[in-house]
Amino acid sequence: MDILNLVIALSTRFGVAIPEVDYPRIATPDMAMTYLMEKTAT
């Protein structure tokens, strides 16, 4: 899966906008999980 498809899938699934500047922060599954936890924390 390329990065753009990953971004679209994560954005759709979690309802989080992921700006292009943050793409390096989701380079691995662990990094993506950490990023999403930060963005969805209330």
CA angle 25, 31, 35 (to 5 degrees): 70
CA angle 37, 16, 5 (to 5 degrees): 105
1 band by pLDDT with thresholds 50, 70 and 90: low
> What would the two tokens of residue 4 be?
């753009």
Nearest CA-CA partner of 10 in 37, 41, 42: 37
Place of tokens 């599954």: 29
Domain residue ranges of the chain, discontinuous segments joined by +:
3-40
- Say how far apart CA 6 and CA 42 lie, in whole Å: 24
Q: What is the pLDDT of residues 18-39, one digit of tens each?
A: 999 999 999 999 999 999 999 9
Q: Identify the pLDDT of residue 33.
A: 95
